[in-house]
Chains A and B, each alone.
Chain A
Amino acid sequence: MSDFIQHIVNGLSLGSIYALIALGYTMVYGILQLINFAHSEVYMMGAFFAYYAAKFMRWENTSGDMLSITGAWAHFFVFFVILFAAMVGCGILGFLIEKLAYRPLRKAPKLNILITAIGVSLFLQYMGQLIFGADPKVFPTPLENTTLVEIYSVPLKSLDILVFCITLFFMFILHYLIFHTRQGKAMRAVSSNFAAASLVGINPDRIISFTFVVGSALAGVGSVLVGLKYPKIEPLMGTMIGLKAFVAAVLGGIGNLPGAVLGALLMGFSEEMVVAYFSSTYRDALAFGILIVILIFRPAGLLGKMKVEKV
């Protein structure tokens, strides 16, 4: 029983990381109908931005004092700085990708944009290998993973709770942004009808840029959280987790924000359960297995709406 609770906790923390990345996919898809394959590489770059930010501050994993702040606060300070660096870096990267690669293709056939997305993804991967080196690096871990409380002899780790809380925090911010601000209203307008939105005075290009920045910043948050949990980063780390986050977004109904979170949590739980009770080598197949079964019964995902075709 205690094992089971432990797996639930792990699944929740894994699922919330997937959710942060899946939100970026689903937002871009909702507004452009584009599978943004470069998103997984934005996530990868986020981890490296954080890594170099920590390096820039000369943060070593053991020492606790720098910039005249000492003790526990320094840890939190470093954590927030690398989180901020990853978010800003990813935001700028997302903005540039949209501006340089996707915007010239706004009117091109969908498949051409998709190939461009794949091209950007490959470009970032190989650029990453060239600049950062192909060898894995150790991610700085300013926050220690301590046991906070034990419930039924299940230790609740501080990192799991931190991951969950930060994800929840950013989801609330995103929710507020999309449903309670003018900018969010404009985003929803562009996503529901591109031409009509521009008729009522919304600049769709600006809104699309904004969407990319927000989605990429969320990927940056995700990369730092993954880095804290599994402190090994390399230029090819984005591919599999990006694919899974994308599957999560499709699972929940792509273009639907709560759907992406639901799908991601489902993925996190089921992956954890398969590793625990079945076989870890089938972990990657399971994600797609669930996806296929769900799509066969609900072709537009769990929360997606089926569109009726009209002549």
Chain B
Amino acid sequence: MIKTFKIPFLSFLILSLLGIVVNFSFNAFIQLVLIYMLINMILAMSLNVVNGYTGQFSLGHAGFMAVGAYVSAYLSSIFPLKALEEALPMMMSSSSTQLLPSIVYVVIQFLYFGCLAFAGGLFSAFSGWLVGLPSLRLKGDYLAIVTLGFSEIIRVILLNTPLVGGARGFYGITGFKDVMDIPLNFISSYFHLIFWVLAAYFIIWRLMKSTHGRAFLSVREDELAAEAMGVNTTQYKVRAFVLSSFFAGVAGSLFAHFTHYLNPASFGFSRSVDALIMVVLGGLGNMKGVIVAAAFITIVPEALRPLQNYLGVDIRMILYSLSLILIMIFMPGKKFRSGGI
């Protein structure tokens, strides 16, 4: 037990220290980029389960992220943090001035947002199950286009649901509250995020060492042979899909409570494509590579921002797309695909 959790715990500790350093030494812009980077990591790792390990081709990951984000945001509007606050003793609230109750309040916030993320993930997993069950009979590009279709349908439905803001977007989603006038939004979100990043990483990593993981890989390598060996390929594909959409939903929930605002337009085709680019760039089925690629893809467009000051025009997306093409052409194909973990 101790051995199992040693590495995750140590990584959590190291990442926490890093976060504390970032909290005190860098400005809000860099903090924002860091948060987006972590969200993208969860998204990319989850897509990697389907596209990398199981060898299926999903192109609709943004849809599942949207489900998680909206469900979590909606739940937080029916069960507001305020109601929870009122149910507790007076001193345990955001206006508390004493140290101990404040700490308790911070812990309560973590539990609250953790539950929301989990609920968002569950709903997203359920929608993944609904989508996966009929569509995973399809192969290759047909599957890609059907998953893309589902994510577009989810987006259009959100666009037409006044309950969650429709085309105006969903305003005023609660995030982490400050306690004792200490700004906590970044650092709490950061802690919450690294918890989920590590959870995603180690759960997927452990899973890939188990029977289920081997089954995923066998589906990727040779579906027919896997079936002949008694692997129920359709069921394993659905399982991979459900797991993947669970973490996509978690990423969505974290995104919602950090930005406090959601818009259906931000879960369009381009977000699915971004996730796909991260997975392919990092190497299909290479989780560490995918994490690095997620960081790279998030940072590059932001790092190119100062260029605009010199040139007067915004060419960073042009450079980004150009570098994408050049990387694909000049990096030998073999490097990208590593077997297993």
Q: Is B322 an interface residue (CB 8 A)?
A: yes
User: Would you call the interface of chain B mostly helix, strand, loop, or mixed?
Assistant: helix
**Among the interface residues B159, B314, B317, which one has the most CB atoms of the partner chain A within 10 A?**
B317
Does A300 touch B at the CB level, under 8 Å?
Answer: yes
By a CB distance below 8 angstroms, the chain B residues around A122 are 317, 320-321, 324
Asked whether B144 lies within 8 Å of A35 as measured between CB atoms, the reply is yes
Q: Which residues of B contact A246 (CB under 8 A)?
A: 145
Please tell me if the beta carbons of A291 and B315 are within 8 angstroms of each other in the complex. no
Q: Which of chain A's residues has its CB closest to B323's CB? A: A119
How far does the alpha carbon of A127 sit from the alpha carbon of B317 in the complex, in Å?
Answer: 9
Contact indicator A291/B333 (Cβ below 8 Å): no
Which residue of chain B is the closest to A116 with respect to CB atoms?
A: B328
Q: How many residues of A contact B (CB 8 A)?
A: 46
Asked if A108 is at the interface (CB within 8 A of a chain B CB), the reply is yes
Q: Which A residues, 21 to 80, have Cβ-Cβ distances below 8 Å to chain B?
A: 29, 33, 35
Of B17-25, B80-88, B148-156, B192-200, which binds chain A? B148-156
CB contacts (< 8 Å) of A295 on chain B: these are 135, 138, 142, 145-146
- Chain A interface SS verdict (over half): helix
Interface bracket on B: 35 or more
Closest Cβ neighbor of A290 among chain B residues: B149
A135 at interface, CB cutoff 8 A: no
Q: Is A247's CB under 8 angstroms from B145's CB?
A: yes
Whether the pair A130, B315 counts as a contact (CB closer than 8 A) is yes
The reply to whether B145 and A108 form a contact with Cβ atoms under 8 Å apart is no
Chain A residues positioned under 8 Å from B153 (CB to CB): 285, 288-289, 292
Q: Is A205 in contact with chain B by the CB < 8 A criterion? A: no
Please, what's the 1-or-0 string for A236-275, where 1 marks a CB less than 8 Å from any CB in chain B? Answer: 0001000100110010001000000000000000000000
Interface stretch of the complex, out of B2-10, B243-251, B254-262, B273-281 = B273-281
Name the B residues within 8 Å of A29 (CB-CB): 141
Within 297-341 of B, Cβ neighbours of A (below 8 Å) are at 313-315, 317-318, 320-322, 324-325, 328-329, 333, 336-337
> Nearest chain-B residue to A35 (Cβ)?
B141
**Closest Cβ of chain B: how far from A263's Cβ, in Å?**
12
Q: Does the CB pair B336–A288 fall under 8 Å?
A: no
Q: How many A-B residue pairs have CB under 8 A?
A: 119
B274 CB → nearest A CB, Å: 10
Q: Which residues of B contact A109 (CB under 8 A)?
A: 333, 336-337
Stretch of A86-94, A99-107, A142-150, A210-218 on the interface side: A99-107
Q: Give CA–CA (A289, B134) in the complex, Å.
A: 13
Once bound together, how far apart are the Cα atoms of A287 and B137, in whole Å? 20
CA distance A289 to B156 in the complex (A): 11
The answer to whether the Cβ of B232 comes within 8 Å of any Cβ in the partner chain is no
Within 8 A of A (CB), among B203-233: 224
User: Are B336 and A284 in contact (CB-based, < 8 A)?
Assistant: no
Q: Flag whether B235 is at the interface (Cβ < 8 A).
A: no
Minimum Cβ distance to chain B for residue A66 (Å): 34
Interface membership of B269, Cβ < 8 A: yes
Contacts A123-B322, A127-B318 given; does A115 touch B142 at CB 8 Å: no
Given A108-B333, A243-B269, A288-B325 contact (CB < 8 Å): no
Residues of B within 8 A of A130 (CB): 313-315, 318
A185 to B276, CA, bound (A): 36
Contact of A247 with B333 in the complex, beta carbons under 8 Å: no
B280 near A115 with CB under 8 A, answer yes
Decide if A115 touches B138 in the complex (CB within 8 Å): no
Q: Which residues of A contact B137 (CB under 8 A)?
A: 296, 299
Q: What B residues does A113 contact at CB under 8 A?
A: 328
Question: For residue A120, which residue of chain B has the nearest CB?
Answer: B325
Task: Given the known inter-chain contacts A116-B328, A123-B322, A130-B318, please indicate yes or no for A288 contacting B149, CB distance below 8 A.
Answer: yes
A118 beta carbon closer than 8 Å to chain B: yes
Residue from A250, A285, A289, A296 whose CB has the most chain B CB atoms within 10 Å: A285
A288 touches B322 (CB 8 A): no
Q: Does A199 contact B (CB under 8 A)?
A: no
Q: A109-B333, A111-B57, A299-B137 are in contact. List 17 more A-B contacts (CB 8 A).
A: A115-B276, A115-B280, A115-B281, A116-B329, A118-B324, A123-B325, A126-B315, A126-B321, A127-B318, A250-B141, A281-B156, A288-B148, A292-B146, A296-B135, A296-B137, A299-B138, A299-B139
Nearest first, the 3 A-B pairs at minimum CB distance are A288-B149, A119-B324, A285-B156
- Show 29 residue pairs from A and B whose CB-CB distance is below 8 angstroms, ordered by the A residue: A35-B141, A35-B145, A104-B329, A105-B329, A108-B328, A112-B280, A115-B281, A116-B324, A116-B329, A119-B321, A127-B318, A239-B269, A247-B145, A250-B141, A279-B160, A281-B156, A284-B152, A284-B156, A285-B152, A291-B145, A291-B149, A292-B149, A295-B138, A295-B146, A296-B137, A299-B139, A299-B142, A300-B142, A301-B142
